[in-house]
Structure 1
């Protein structure tokens, strides 16, 4: 059976960027940028994005393109005889399932809020009522499961359409609309009365503010955001490498994807900070910002229902592009390794992920008594911690060692694949840094994540 490939370079860039651009770009990046000195933090973030994220994303693409396999099959095909690197491939696939066990619930929130905003359910609510609306959503098991299932169905229906006619085509449409909607919202936000204060807070480098909150805290926050924004380490990018031809070098393509991911995060800040400043509200982090603070702002805006609907449509696209990309990785595993048809892979996995996602959806109501990481935590927090603080950094270390070690795929093989095609070449003089220093930095992020979580 001939393996599918993507129809165009744009499809590859939008699919890969869609996987990287997620909800963290919107509710985490703007907030930590504000906390750690605005433009000063952005500069720090961009440096770490290049020196941390770029090498690993190139390695994921190289492993995928050289093997023409998903992450499980890739390590099996490229490993030297007698080695056991392929075991990690199965762990990485498990990581994709685990990521979707909670991401489908949060994506469901976005879809629900889009329709609620469109219907006018949030129109005219005061700040207390807006907060209560969010709490009411979380407290209803049937509502939470319904919108999680809608997310799962949409994602797998797209995957059932095939790589080109389903996944690639929908990714192009969603990503195009995502950036158009963001641009419209940016223009609206920066033209609000008093928006200039928010723009200055966001973009003007303030090293004093960075120092007040701790320089090393800012460094760790920049490292963590640069690293986790790309969802590296569980093979989510490997699959798209396996679908592309060898016309272009992987360093240039990876830089383009990093650029799109950074642009989305940057524009999110230009939506949130000017609007928050204009209405004198705190651009707090997390769900409170998206589901409570921003709806209050939209209610105070002329045509607020329209702007609110547009914002949650953008959020839904950001969430669903990630869902579809990871679903495709899961489906491709069943096709490549288990030799299932695409339709069988879609039907079986839709059922499996729907069932596996139920605990997270119930973790805010029926199962709220389960607090695995201490008081106030939930099932979502545990699943997110396992993926973000464990599988992503440790998985990235595996990619680094596999591509640099003689017992793995090896440096020469990696460089040959990365540099195949036209475009920017991977700097070979970075071998010592990539082999020794970068794994140490990633391991430090892993350890610091535990200290931050449990050391307080």
Structure 2
């Protein structure tokens, strides 16, 4: 087995971890839901839940990684008490990473393709229908989507093949630095557009009448859910970087740095998108239509729009590729740890697997568009996203928390010792009761409410059946957590 690498610097660790957290969904979703649920009022709630929900789970993932010096392939196996079965839960992480990449590589390809379209001017001069048709045409052409997804896969694995220091860290540092510079430039440009002040007001000024209209409980849950999902917790995407981290700094401070950078990118995305939409009289919308139809139309109306459009999609490509590289590294490390493979062998095998499993999501928009397993209008990507976002992320996060606090797991004493090794922000001892009793309940609420909302428009019988399925999955997890061997491993 190859000797385990470490990050060359703390900054590298922070930028790589934040690069994993900074995803495409965060950029197109955060500005929309922020305005939808009261602007600054939502931001305050979001930041609160980021601290009380995201922070302890993020520290738990980092601690498991650094304490084991392993990826999720063997992390639980190394830290669990003898005779327990926590290691069986590693498949939540491994399967989750594969499923996430089965469609995320395709979406990363979309970003690269649209950067190409903007750079070459192929969207310039098109009317509203023309821009909309360009997106529809792309979705109808599996060969186009397949080519650009393949480019995203090749680029990302090439980075991982260079290793942690010379590949993942060095190149992600450059991408994240350029991403921040591009965001600031794009935000300044948006702020100078006519009527931009109205967009900024919509985005940042607290509007409690909107909160009242949508319902306070709905707004609170939206803030809670976004704070939970924004950091990509639960499938070991953060754990792997903890395993490459030295013990100079306490993990609480490192987690705060990652959260701050992730939040900065989300907030800056709002400063780019919302004022631009208001300046040209379009309503901010969520999902692909905002990025691939609304914004290209906005760029076409903007002075120097081709340049700003190209810069925007280059920025989005960096956001996508930084996440893909991070998750690829998790999968590569899993097989290096479990099988003792070299990095080159793990890269080669995973390259073949990822390329193959990316095909169904691409075909789901054209040749296999009649496959609608989650109801009319859904596709294969929706199924893959549903399994990851609504199942594996919350259940995986629950596993990390319980592993770090339960006596038949790693145990709070071992967790807190690892978290507080080094200098910096100390993780509080009083958080034990919170992590053991309160946090799991909050995660379960997010999990079950997510299921309920996703199937809210289905027939009652279908909704009940899916909720029963959700409970069954949760009971399986609890069965392993609570009834696995109880012998405590000595610290």
Give the TM bin, normalised by the shorter chain: over 0.9
Q: Deviations over 1:112-153 (max 9, x none)?
A: 000011011100111111111100000001011111111111
Aligned counterpart, 1:230 = 231
Secondary structure of residue in 2 paired with 1:319: helix
Matched, 1:134 2:135: yes
Most deviating of 78-87 and 337-346: 337-346
Contact kept, 8 Å, 1:72 with 1:88, in 2: the verdict is: no
Report deviation, 1:199.
0.2
Alignment of 1:148-227 (within 5 A): 148-227=149-228
Report deviation, 1:428.
1.3
Aligned counterpart, 1:262 = 263
Report deviation, 1:90.
2.4
Aligned counterpart, 1:296 = 297
Secondary structure of residue in 2 paired with 1:71: coil
Secondary structure of residue in 2 paired with 1:28: helix
Matched, 1:349 2:350: yes
Contact kept, 8 Å, 2:404 with 2:412, in 1: the verdict is: yes
Aligned counterpart, 2:330 = 329
In structure 2, C-alpha distance between the alignment counterparts of 1:210 and 1:146, rounded to whole Å:
44
In structure 1, C-alpha distance between the alignment counterparts of 2:422 and 2:393, rounded to whole Å:
29
Secondary structure of residue in 2 paired with 1:7: coil
Q: Deviations over 1:159-187 (max 9, x none)?
A: 11111111111100000000000000000
Report deviation, 1:434.
1.0
Aligned counterpart, 1:120 = 121
Aligned counterpart, 1:73 = 74
Report deviation, 1:441.
0.6
Contact kept, 8 Å, 2:32 with 2:286, in 1: the verdict is: yes
Aligned counterpart, 2:485 = none
Secondary structure of residue in 1 paired with 2:320: helix
Unaligned runs of 5+ in 2: 458-491
> Given the two structures, how large is their TM-score scaled by the length of structure 1?
0.99
Contact kept, 8 Å, 1:182 with 1:267, in 2: the verdict is: yes
In structure 1, C-alpha distance between the alignment counterparts of 2:404 and 2:27, rounded to whole Å:
32
Contact kept, 8 Å, 2:73 with 2:335, in 1: the verdict is: no
In structure 2, C-alpha distance between the alignment counterparts of 1:422 and 1:172, rounded to whole Å:
23
Aligned counterpart, 1:450 = 451
Report deviation, 1:70.
0.1
In structure 2, C-alpha distance between the alignment counterparts of 1:266 and 1:372, rounded to whole Å:
35
Most deviating of 93-102 and 306-315: 93-102
Report deviation, 1:455.
2.4
Report deviation, 1:336.
1.3
Unaligned runs of 5+ in 1: none
In structure 2, C-alpha distance between the alignment counterparts of 1:93 and 1:328, rounded to whole Å:
11
Runs of 4+ that moved beyond 4 A: none
Aligned counterpart, 1:106 = 107
Secondary structure of residue in 2 paired with 1:72: coil
In structure 2, C-alpha distance between the alignment counterparts of 1:187 and 1:446, rounded to whole Å:
38
In structure 2, C-alpha distance between the alignment counterparts of 1:254 and 1:5, rounded to whole Å:
17
In structure 2, C-alpha distance between the alignment counterparts of 1:323 and 1:390, rounded to whole Å:
20
> Given the two structures, how large is their TM-score scaled by the length of structure 2?
0.92
Report deviation, 1:251.
0.3
Aligned counterpart, 2:461 = none
Contact kept, 8 Å, 2:73 with 2:337, in 1: the verdict is: no
Aligned counterpart, 1:283 = 284
Q: Deviations over 1:334-372 (max 9, x none)?
A: 111111111111111101100011000111001100011
Matched, 1:47 2:48: yes
Contact kept, 8 Å, 1:138 with 1:144, in 2: the verdict is: yes
Contact kept, 8 Å, 1:144 with 1:362, in 2: the verdict is: no
